[in-house]
Amino acid sequence: MHDDNVTERAVKYFYLYWSIGKGFSEDFRLSGSPIGGTFRNVSIMFNTGFTSEYINDWIGIILRAFFGISIFLPLSIIPERRDLMKALKYTKKVQEARFEFPEKTTEKMYKLSVAHDNLNELIHVFKSRIYPTVLKPYRKNLDTFKNIVLLFSPPILDSLNKESPFTDLELGIINVEHKRLYESGDIDFFLYYIDEFIKVFNKEHLITIQLQKYLEPSHENDGLKADRFLRNLNPIERQEYIPQAFGVTDLQLNRFIDHIKREGIVSALMPYILNNKKIMEIQLNGCELANDVITSTQYSIYLYPLDQIIFHTEEDDKVYVFLSEELLQFDKKENPYNRNPLPDYLYEDLYEDQKTENLEEIWTKILRHNISFEL
């Protein structure tokens, strides 16, 4: 049946919804309620004024909004005999989707099919698939090309390059936007983007070679990664990564980042690690330190947060240092160094699956390469 209660505006929305690959036959006619049934047996009739110009208007809106193209002029189309088949295929396709067009002339349906294909290609840009036909005339516009690059889609760039190899100006735009993404974007996305770029362009391509330079460890790269990671944290949250008893201010963070860029992450963190060491020596109160390495990890005790370390003093005034989680791993609650029983109070407030990371582990993850401290 035909639904005369669907407004002309709603009909256009139905078509646009269907164009982006969303079927509506199983949707409820009354939103959120099964009372009115679904659209399964409903045919939606367009009025005589619905032509390819409507679809081209939608294309123009997308081009203006996302690519800065203010004027979109569809190509003049005069269908030939061989285009009859394309018009028939489109007619069958829309009928299967429950749409009906009055006055289905070959020219009208052919123009609708071309506009529909152009709209689908344009939508696929946002799914990182292809460079659409409607954008090809605008490639030489560098602002438009920049907006295409900002999609950060290797498949789209690849389709562009295959159509016509990048010019020096285009390569320059790509490299500038990659640098901006590296300096201010999300590092996880950037690493994912490089992986996808290599899959599409291979490792020998000029752009790929340039991208891989951002993965090379250097003081400058480490400083940028650290800045990006810590900048959005509050002063208290930063303490986990720059260990000290009070919050890390923006001024202190700036000095820390500058230190990394000059001398590296190990040098920048060393004053904080040595300060941890001094605090622990004070807490020993003249007693002898039995171990300066965590038994279960073999990392220096000075690389761990002070509030996650447990000090245990025995009768001979020797102090043993443990992590909270490793106490649960000791058989029979015995000190692994001398097999003496460990007191029950050490096990209060402990819980399974606790994991304490040290500075070496934490910063290796942030910087995406191994670092080590010699203490």
Tokens read off for 192: 């994912």
Q: Which range is least confidently modeled, 9-13, 95-99, 249-253, 263-267?
A: 9-13
Average pLDDT, the chain: 84
Per-residue model confidence (pLDDT) at position 63: 85
Is there a single domain that holds both residue 274 and residue 154?
no
Please check the confidence at residue 347 and state whether its pLDDT lies above 50: yes
* Under 8 Å between Cβ of 340 and 334: yes
The pLDDT tens digits for 80-90 are 656 788 888 88
The answer to whether residue 1 is domain-embedded is no
Please check the confidence at residue 158 and state whether its pLDDT lies above 80: yes
Look at 1 and 147; give whichever has higher pLDDT. Answer: 147
**Full domain range(s) for residue 81:** 8-128
Is there a single domain that holds both residue 155 and residue 210?
yes
Look at 8 and 268; give whichever has higher pLDDT. Answer: 268
| Average pLDDT score over residue span 139-165 | 90
Give the model's confidence band at 216: pLDDT under 50 very low, under 70 low, under 90 confident, else very high: confident
Please check the confidence at residue 51 and state whether its pLDDT lies above 70: yes
Task: Tell me how far the alpha carbon of residue 64 is from its chain's centroid.
Answer: 25
Instruction: Report the number of distinct structural domains present in the chain.
Output: 3
Look at 241 and 127; give whichever has higher pLDDT. Answer: 241
Is there a single domain that holds both residue 175 and residue 267?
no
User: Which of 164, 193, 215 lies at the terminal end of a domain, its last residue?
Assistant: 215
| Average pLDDT score over residue span 179-208 | 89
The answer to whether residue 15 is domain-embedded is yes
Give the model's confidence band at 37: pLDDT under 50 very low, under 70 low, under 90 confident, else very high: low
Per-residue model confidence (pLDDT) at position 360: 94
Please check the confidence at residue 186 and state whether its pLDDT lies above 90: no
Is there a single domain that holds both residue 358 and residue 235?
yes
Is there a single domain that holds both residue 160 and residue 263?
no
> Can you name the residues that pair with 318 across neighbouring β-strands?
288
| Average pLDDT score over residue span 58-83 | 73
The answer to whether residue 133 is domain-embedded is no
pTM over 0.85: no
Is there a single domain that holds both residue 237 and residue 363?
yes
Q: Which amino acid is at 205?
A: H
